[in-house]
Amino acid sequence: MKILVCIKQIPDTTDIKWTENNTIQREGLESVINPYDIFAIQEALNIKKILRSAQNDDMKNTEITAISMGPLQAQDILKKAIAMGCDNAVLLSDKKFSGADTYATAKTISSAIKTNFPDFDLIFCGQFAIDGDTAQTGPGIASFLNIPQVTFVKNIKKYEENSLYAVRELEDGFETVKVEFPALICVLKGDYEPVRPTIQGTIKAQNTKIRILGVDDIGLTSDDVGIKGSPTYVSKAFRPEHNRGECSYCSDIDELANKIKEYINE
């Protein structure tokens, strides 16, 4: 069974600088794995652990590949993914990829999957990246690959030979969905401590060479990727101003209720 986990590097800072295209200047920033993607890795590891006792050899030999699109610096988070238990990792890195919006990002990642991992069974993504926060990349990858997607997944309840049952968190409760492979799953934060790098994994990561793919390796041209392949145009980027006004204090609940009443009637 072949599992891919999409992981994004996000800046480990609140001191954001902008490029001339009004996008985040990422080069040189201290980076970490997007937190939701750590839960995506964990779900992949859970499947691998469960399938160790499977009868079928293909399922027993489950392989997890972490995949990221980003600058060369993103090799660090891929090494961390290997230290956490992924078997190998691929970085999509090419100057031509820079300036990609979510459409071009999903197109680039899905083309890399089509051309380099055509026999994949499952793709895990985080539900959101906490910097961009659009939640569009996972569904975009599934659309380009024309496979089913299950979003807002809180946990995976059961695996069968060619399918799984995912528990989705909704606004007013939970629902369980059965999906057949190949499929893409976007995961939320699970109710458990996420995986951490192990010493054994860290040694393996140090000795693993990350495979790097550019535009020529994924069946696209420079017109399809990066800023050229991005229909989104950012006209302005700014920090919102916080205008909280003056604070006032109330000594009891009646005074608070009266203040709220005055405020509403203003």
Q: How far is the CB of 101 from ligand FAD (least distance, A)?
A: 4
2, 66 in Cβ contact below 8 A? Answer: no
Number of residues that bind ligand FAD (CB under 6 A): 34
Q: Which of 11, 83, 116, 138 binds ligand FAD (CB under 6 A)?
A: 138
33, 73 in Cβ contact below 8 A? Answer: no
H helical segments located in the chain:
35-51, 57-60, 75-84, 102-116, 137-145, 199-207, 253-265
Q: Which of 65, 93, 110, 137 binds ligand FAD (CB under 6 A)?
A: 137
**Contact region with ligand FAD (CB under 6 A), list: 63-71, 196-204, 217-225, 255-263:** 63-71
Q: In this complex, which beta carbon is closest to ligand FAD, that of residue 59 or of residue 140?
A: 140
Q: In this complex, which beta carbon is closest to ligand FAD, that of residue 12 or of residue 161?
A: 12
Rounded-to-5 percentages of helix, strand, coil across the chain: 35, 25, 40
42, 194 in Cβ contact below 8 A? Answer: yes
**Contact region with ligand FAD (CB under 6 A), list: 101-109, 159-167, 194-202, 256-264:** 101-109
Pick out residues in 208-247 that bind ligand FAD (CB under 6 A): 230, 232, 234
97, 69 in Cβ contact below 8 A? Answer: yes
68's tokens: 């990221």
* 116: amino acid identity, one letter: N
Q: In this complex, which beta carbon is closest to ligand FAD, that of residue 70 or of residue 201?
A: 70
The Cα–Cα gap between 31 and 250 comes to 43
Give yes or no for residue 94 binding ligand FAD (CB under 6 A): no
Give yes or no for residue 30 binding ligand FAD (CB under 6 A): no
Q: Which of 87, 117, 132, 148 binds ligand FAD (CB under 6 A)?
A: 132
Partner residues linked to 33 by β-bridges: 9
Best CA proximity match to 186, nearest among 211, 150, 214, 159: 150
Pick out residues in 148-187 that bind ligand FAD (CB under 6 A): none
Give yes or no for residue 12 binding ligand FAD (CB under 6 A): no
The Cα–Cα gap between 229 and 215 comes to 12
Q: How far is the CB of 118 from ligand FAD (least distance, A)?
A: 19
Q: Which of 3, 6, 45, 145 binds ligand FAD (CB under 6 A)?
A: 6
Best CA proximity match to 87, nearest among 208, 251, 247: 208
137's tokens: 């990349």
Q: In this complex, which beta carbon is closest to ligand FAD, that of residue 131 or of residue 160?
A: 131
Residues that bind ligand FAD (CB under 6 A): 6-8, 23, 26, 34, 36-37, 40, 68-70, 98-102, 105, 109, 125-126, 128-129, 131-138, 230, 232, 234
